Structures are given as C-alpha cells and as structure tokens.
Amino acid sequence: MKSFQIYKKSGYLLVEVLVAIVIVGFFFALAVPVIEEENAKRELFISAQTLTHAIRSAQIDAKSDIYQIEDVSKPLRSSLVAFHCEARDDGRVYWYTVQGNKLGHRRGYLSDKITSTGRINLLFDKTGITPKGDSYEIILQTKDKRHAIKVTVALYTGRTRTEILN
C-alpha cells in the first residue's frame, strides 16, 4: 500500500489575496458615501447650533449693556443690539451684530459647506426682541441642497427653534 502525503501549503495564494482586497474595497466603496452624508448632516447641525448660540449671545449683550447715558437731562434708555445673518455674494453665510452705529464684536462665518435662503434681521433691547426686525427665519442647507434646517426666532420671546426639513 502506498501512503499519500498530504501537501500543506504555507501561506496564501495570490488569488485569495486579490479576492480579499476586492471584498475590502467593495465594503469601503459602500461606506464612503454614507460617511460623507453623515458629515454633511453634522456640518449643517453644527452651523444651526452656531447660529442659535450667536442669536442668544446678541440677546445677552442687549440685556447686559442696560443703559446708555447720552445726556443727563434725558432719561436713561436701554441699548439696542441688532443681529443680522445672510448669505454673501460668494455663497458663505455671514452673521454679525451691530450695537448703536458700530459693528459688534460678535461676528463670524458658518461652514463653507453651508448655504442659506433668506436672512435674519433682529433687533434686541433690554426686555428681549423688539418687533422692529423684518425677518425672523432662515433656512440653512448643504451645498447639494439635500439637507436643510430652518432656524426660526419667536417674535415676542426671542426663543430660537430649529426644524429639520429634509
């Protein structure tokens, strides 16, 4: 009787390595769009949060800088802080505050991956928001317009609300 010796291979064949690379590449190709989609949603959410915090900061500035004394004979009056947010010509969303006739120290841009439709123009005094503003909501969206969040400011309370549109 002849004994058969079983051949033991030591390592992988080139075909097995290539199959493993193809499988890993396939899963990677599936994962990249999902990751990019989640990053776009995260950028949009962070931009909406930045905007709501900036609005709240403008309210706090108006409440904390309570009085201006221009003339002793005139009664004390509360200071006003204006908050503006709009898209620039280059598409970037810019927000800033104005106190009196000076540009406030709070200003900035949202992410360059975010655009907006509409604008916000608010006017705050010591008691909160005044009805002299002309625009109370803005829609922030990703550049590809697949996701959007609406930021609305309540007229009399000044509270902000974010609503996911799509």
Domain boundaries, given as residue ranges, for the chain:
25-164
Question: 63-101: per-residue pLDDT in tens?
Answer: 886 444 444 444 444 578 888 898 888 889 999 988 877
Greater confidence, 3 or 58? Answer: 58
How far is the CA of 90 from the CAs of 80, 95, 101, in angstroms? Answer: 30, 14, 26
What pLDDT is stored for residue 70 in this prediction? 45
What pLDDT is stored for residue 77 in this prediction? 46
Task: Please state, in angstroms and rounded to a whole number, the distance separating the CA atoms of residues 157 and 153.
Answer: 8
Amino acid found at 118: G
What pLDDT is stored for residue 12 in this prediction? 65
**Nearest by Cα to 161 from 23, 56, 27, 75:** 56
Contact partners, residue 59, CB within 8 Å, separation at least 6: 81, 124, 128, 129, 158
What pTM was computed for the model?
Answer: 0.73
- Residue whose token pair is 């109370």: 136
